[in-house]
Amino acid sequence: MKKQAGFSLIELVVAMAVLALIMGAMVHLFGGSVTSLHTGAKQEVVYEEARLLMNELKTTLRYADKDSIDPEQPTVSTSKFSYKGNLWDRHMDIAQGTNKEYKVTVEWKDDTKKQLQVTREDITDGSKKITVFPNDSNNSIFEGKFPVTSEKLTLNDGNTVIMYKIALPLQYEFNGQMKTQTLETKVVPSKDEEDNSIEAQLIKAYKEVLLLGIKVKETLGLNDSTKPNKSDLTTNEWKLYNDFMNYFYKSGNVNNSSLTSNDSIRQYLSSTKYNNWVIGTVEGTGTKIYVSPVCHTKKAEDIFLMGRTDLNNSWYTGFIYDPSKKQWFNGNAVSTSKSWNDVQSLIAGWKNISVKYN
């Protein structure tokens, strides 16, 4: 009788060992592929977070009102940065779009300074959008350094502009190793649309003197009797400084506090530029008003225009120009010896009027 063939126990053990090695290799290879796919997806998520936030900050800061930026020159030690601006809310349907005012606040989410919180508020309806970056704090490498910093640039005409640098560092795991990357961009807020109206010219002329005074007194830290060096000011600032001081102090003396004095600025402008202020006529009534800038707080954001029917020293008037709305208003006389916010609350409910100039 023929003996039946088969596998010995040793052969089975060897075969099973070989099969186990093959299966182990396949499992390791498949598992590595899944891990790579997973970490690759994490990389894409973190990068997309950074890219979207970068675009948000770059766009809104580009169209920001330069006077609203606070602080004007942020550094790595800054903890909060904010600004306001206007941006068209629709890109594809111009007919249905509207220019919306917004406020953006960039700050640390908490004291660890590992995550950034960016709040964009629609000033019109009060709605808010809050973005946290990075969403997972494990992907943060901020190291407490604020991501928005500034650099002052001098132009060919001697004027200066402030350029803002945005740097969003991030880290992610890739193939079992931690990788780092930083998205960077630079932006200069666009110049406001040129407004050649008489109102805009009056406010601009007042603002130039006031900002010069703030620079001399606060930035340069000069006392009243110390004249700045020519190198401390731009070409235009140096000329304005000398013109202003020569008007008041023929002897060559200076008084730097006069550069931020409402009375002194108004006297300088009315005498050297506008010949006792511009005279406007209120449409519909024929009322003539003397139009002049005013600011009692020594803050550029509080400059506005008042219209008086005579040139007495009263600070009460029923004619106020709102620079933000570019509109004249008329009502019962109120005191203008206040901040712009206070004046705005006083003229709430006043009627719009039109003023024409000869």
Count the helices and strands in the chain (H runs, E runs). Answer: 5, 14
Per-residue pLDDT at 34: 44
- Tell how far CA 358 is from the center of its chain: 37
* Contact indicator for 263, 341 with CB cutoff of 8 Å: no
**Structural domains in the chain, sorted by start:** 40-187 (no CATH), 198-357 (3.30.1690)
List, edge to edge, every strand of the sheet that includes 160-174.
148-154, 160-174, 177-187
Is pLDDT of 68 > 70?
yes
Per-residue pLDDT at 80: 95
Where is pLDDT greater, at 252 or 14? 252
Per-residue pLDDT at 273: 86
Per-residue pLDDT at 224: 94
Average pLDDT value over all residues in the chain:
85
Per-residue pLDDT at 318: 95
Q: What length does the chain have?
A: 358
Is pLDDT of 35 > 80?
no
* Contact indicator for 316, 296 with CB cutoff of 8 Å: no
Per-residue pLDDT at 37: 39
* Contact indicator for 163, 151 with CB cutoff of 8 Å: yes
Ordered DSSP codes for 328-342: EEEEEEEE-SS-HHH
Q: Which two tokens stand for residue 211?
A: 């900002």
pTM strictly above 0.75: no
Q: Say how many C-beta atoms besides its own lie within 10 A of residue 345's C-beta.
A: 11
Sequence letter at residue 198: I
The span from the CA of 315 to the CA of 255, in Å, is 25
Rounded mean pLDDT, 218-232: 93
